[in-house]
Structure 1
Amino acid sequence: MSGGLDERDKRGYAVWVSEVMLQQTRVSTVIDYFKRWMNKWPTLHHLAQASLEEVNEMWAGLGYYRRVRFLLQGAKEVVEGGGRFPETVSDLRKIKGIGEYTAGAIASIAFRKAVPVVDGNVVRVISRLKTISANPKDAATVKSFWKLAGQLVDPCRPGDFNQALMELGATLCSLSNPGCAACPISAQCHVLSLSGENELVHVTDYPTKVVKAKQRHEFSAVSVVEILNCQETMGPQSSSKYILVKRPNKGLLAGLWEFPSVLLEKEADLTSRRKAVDNYLQSSFNLDLKESTRIVSRENIGECVHVFSHIRLKMYVELLVLHAKGNRSIDYKKQGKESITWKYVDNENLGNMGLTSGVRKVYTMVQKHKQTEQSTIPGRRRKTAVRR
C-alpha cells in the first residue's frame, strides 16, 4: 500500500472517529477522548483487532454506547472487505452505523466531495435564511433541508464550508440568543429581514419548536456487593473485592459492566428494595443473605438520578459487605438461554476501569460514604451487623 493511500485511509478514519464522538457531545469533552483513542488505535486496522470491552472502556463517559459498537463493527467490515476506506456517500452508507450525516461529513471533510452535511445547527441556519416554518422533524422537511444544503455547499472547499455552516449555527446563529449583528450572512437572512418589518416575527421563532417526547421514568435497586477475605480488616490493606456484572450484548448499555442491580416496577421503600435484591442475589449468585453470619454490614447509601436521552433512571444505592466463605458460594447461574458474565474487581482496578457515568456516580457515592465513616469514627472496625 502506498504512503498516499495510507494517509488517505488515516484521514478518513480520523474524521469518522471524531464525528461519531462529536455527535451530541461538546468539542472540549471530545478532545482528550479523541487523542487517547488515536494513540491506542491509530488506524482502522488497529481498531478492527480490538475487543468490544476495550472500546467500551475507552468510550466510557461519552454515552450512546451503541455508536461505539457500530464503530468497531464498521471497522471490522472495512478491513474484511479489503481494508480500503470508502470515500463516497453511497459506499460509506453501506458501513454499519454510518448514516447520512456521518457519511456526508467524512466524504466532504476527508475526501473533498461536494456533498452536504445537515445537523441541528445547519437546520437552524437554513430555516432562518429561507424562513422555513415546517416541522423540522418531519421526513419531507428533513429531505428539503438536505436538498437546500446541497445547493449551498462550496464545490471547491466542501469540508470547510460544511464545518463553517455548523459552527455558525452553534455560535452566532444560536437557538435563543443569536448574534445577528455580527453574522456574516445576515444580509441574506429572510427571517431577520422580516423581523425588521414585523414586530411579531422573531428570529428565534425559527426553526419551529417541536415538543419533545416525555422521558420514561424507571427505578432500580443497586447493590454494591463487597466481599471481604478477612472479616476484621478495615483499612487500606483490605483484600476486599467487588462484584461486577456484564450487561447483555443487546439493548441499553450493551456489554458494559455494572454493580448488581434490579429494575423495579415503581418507586419502592427500603424493605421492598432489599427483598428484590435478596431474590436476585440468591437466584443469580447462590448468595443466601438469610445467613446472618455472612453479612458484615448493609447500609443504605442514598439515591441518585441518571438521565439518558429517553429515560430518567432513579437508582437506590446500598453497600452490602459480605464474608467471602470460599468462592464456591459465589456461582452465577445461567439465566434463561444466555449465561451472564460476572467478575471480581478490587478497589484499585475498579477505580481505573472505564465505567459508565451512571456506574461511576454509584461508585463515587460509596467511596464518599466510606470516607465519611472513617473520618467520623477513627479506628472503627467492621462488625457483623445489618444497618437499617
Structure 2
Amino acid sequence: MWAGLGYYRRARFLLEGAKQIVEKGEFPRTASALREVRGIGDYTAGAIASIAFNEVVPVVDGNVVRVISRLYAIPDNPKESSTVKRFWQLTGELVDPSRPGDFNQAMMELGATLCSKTKPGCSQCPVSSHCQALTLSNQSASVKVTDYPRVVPKAKPRSDFAAVCVVQIAQCLDEGIAGSTGNDNLFLLIKRPEDGLLAGLWEFPSVLVSEEKTDALNRRKRDGQIFEADVKRRSSVILREDIGQHVHIFSHIRLTMFVELMILNLKDDGDELCMEGQDSSKLRFIDENAVESMGLTSGIRKVYNMVKTFKEKRLKEQRQVPTRKRSRRLK
C-alpha cells in the first residue's frame, strides 16, 4: 500500500508507535507524553492533545506559519530554528484556553483557505484588522502581504551516483524458500541500514561510487564489495552486463543509478545459500513473481522494469538469430 509514495519512514514509525502505546496499555493524553511516542513530533502531539484532550497547547504547520508571519510581519527565515521557536511561542500566546482544539483547527483552516500563499483574501479575513503585513502593504506600494513569510530558495539537490547490481539466481530448486511461487529464478535483495535514506527497506545490492564518470570496470570492483565470499564460492556467473542507468530524484538528492544485471548459476551446495538467506535479517531471495507484488520503492521498481525490458529484448534477439540464418541459406 505504501510502495512508491515516499512515506516509508512514516509507516515504520506508525507501527513502532502503535506497539509502544499497546505495550504501555494507555494512550498518552498530554503533548509532552505524546512526544515520547515514536514518530510523534511537536505538530502531531499538539494536534492530538488540543483537539482530543482539550490541552491548551499550540499547533504550528505551514499554514499557521503563514498566518503568524503576516499577523506579526515577521521578515525572518521561517526555516531557521530561532524563527520556528518564535512561531510556536506566538501561537501559544494566542491559543483560546477554553477551546484550544477549535482554535488550532481554525488557524490551520484560515491559512489553508483565506490566507493563501499567493492570493490572500484579506477583505474577508476575520483577523485582517490585526494583520501587520496588511497594514504595511496599505502604507507602501513596495510591500505586499505575500512578502510574508519570506521565501527561502530551495537548496540544489546534491548529485550522488550508485552502482546497482541486480543479481538473479538462475537455479535455486529448494521449494522451501520463502516468497517462492514455484519459479526457480530468484532475485537477491539487501536490506538497507535502519537509519538514513530509505531506512530498513529492501533493494537490489548497490554501492555508492565517487562520480558519474566512474567506468564500468571500477563499478564492478565496487559491486564486489557487496557480496560475501560465500556467494562467490557457491556460484558461477552466467551473464554480467551493464543495461543502462536511471536517475531518481529525492527531495535533496539526485541519484544516478548505473544498473548491471548479473545472472548466477548455483553450484552443488548453492541451494543451502538460498535457504540461509531466508534466515538472514539482511538479505533475502525472492522469485520474480513475488518481486512484482512486493512493496519496493519507485526507484528500485523502475530498475527492475529496466531488467525486464533488457531480458525481453535479449530473448527476442536470440529467437531471431536462427531465422536470419535460415533466410541466408535460402538465398
TM-score bracket for the superposition, by shorter chain length: 0.7 to 0.9
Equivalent in the alignment of 1:300 = 243
Is it true that 1:286 corresponds to 2:232 in the alignment? yes
Partner of 1:149 in structure 2?
A: 91
Question: 2:108 aligned with 1:169, yes or no?
Answer: no
2:179 aligned partner: none
Asked if structure 1 preserves the Cα contact closer than 8 Å seen for 2:234 and 2:269, the reply is no
Decide which of 243, 247, 256 is 2:201's aligned counterpart: 256
Match for residue 265 of structure 2?
A: 323
How far does residue 212 in structure 1 lie from its aligned partner after superposition?
Answer: 4.4
Residues 202 and 342 of structure 1: is their aligned pair in 2 closer, same or farther, counting only changes over 3 Å? same
Deviation at 1:216, TM superposition (A): 3.3
Amino acid at match of 2:247: C
Q: 1:364 to 1:131 in 2, by over 3 A?
A: same
Letter in 2 for 1:202: K
The answer to whether residue 255 in structure 2 is matched with residue 313 in structure 1 is: yes
- Structure 1 residues without counterparts, runs of 5 or longer: 1-57, 231-236, 333-338, 382-388
SS in 1 for 2:63: helix
> Residues 220 and 314 of structure 1 are in contact (CA less than 8 Å); yes or no, is this contact kept in structure 2?
yes
Residue 220 of structure 1 is matched in structure 2 by: 162
Q: How has the CA–CA distance of structure 1 residues 297 and 70 changed in structure 2, closer, same or farther, with 3 Å as cutoff? A: closer
**Which amino acid is the alignment partner of residue 220 of structure 2?**
R
Give the C-alpha shift of residue 122 in structure 1. 0.9
TM-score (norm 2): 0.78
Contact 1:222 1:316 in 2 (8 A): yes
Partner of 2:101: 159
Q: Percent identity?
A: 54
Q: Which residue of 1 aligns with 2:150?
A: 208
Residues 1:205 and 1:173: Cα distance change in structure 2 (over 3 Å): same
Change (3 A) 1:329 1:275: farther
Give CA-to-partner distance per residue, 1:100-131, whole Å, 9 cap, x none: 21110111222233321001221111101221
Larger radius of gyration: 2
Does structure 1 residue 366 correspond to structure 2 residue 311? no
CA pair 143-116 structure 1, distance change in 2 beyond 3 A: same
Aligned mates of 2:217, 2:209 — CA distance in 1: 13
Instruction: Give yes or no for contact 2:234–2:267 (8 Å, CA) kept in 1.
Output: no
Show CA shifts across 1:304-346 (max 9, x none).
2231x443322111222233435528859xxxxxx86211111
Q: Among 190, 203, 220, which residue is 1:274 paired with?
A: 220
Displacement of 1:355: 1.4
- How far is 1:228 from its partner? 1.7
Contact 1:281 1:287 in 2 (8 A): no
The alpha-carbon distance between structure 1 residues 228 and 80, as it changes in their structure 2 partners (threshold 3 A), is same
The letter for the 2-side match of 1:366 is: V
Shift in alpha-carbon separation, 1:62–1:326, aligned structure 2, 3 A: farther
**Cα displacement (A) at 1:243:** 0.7
Q: Which amino acid aligns with 1:311?
A: I
Residue of structure 2 equivalent to 1:78 = 21
Greater RCO, CA 8 A, separation 6+: 2
Secondary structure of 2:227 counterpart: helix
d(CA) in 1 for partners of 2:205, 2:151: 40
Match of 1:243 among 171, 183, 188: 188
Distance (whole Å) between structure 2 residues aligned to residue 166 and residue 221 of structure 1: 44
CA distance in 2, matches of 1:322, 1:79: 45
Q: CA deviation at 1:245?
A: 0.9
Counterpart for residue 7 of structure 1: none
Letter in 2 for 1:352: S
Aligned partners of 1:248 and 1:340 also within 8 Å: no
- 1:4-83 equivalent positions in 2, closer than 5 A: 59-63=2-6, 65-81=8-24, 83=25
Task: Pick closer, same or farther for the CA change 1:127–1:223 going to 2, 3 Å.
Answer: same
When the two chains are superposed, the root-mean-square deviation of aligned CA atoms in Å is: 3.3
* Unaligned stretches of 5+ residues in structure 2: 173-181, 275-279, 322-331
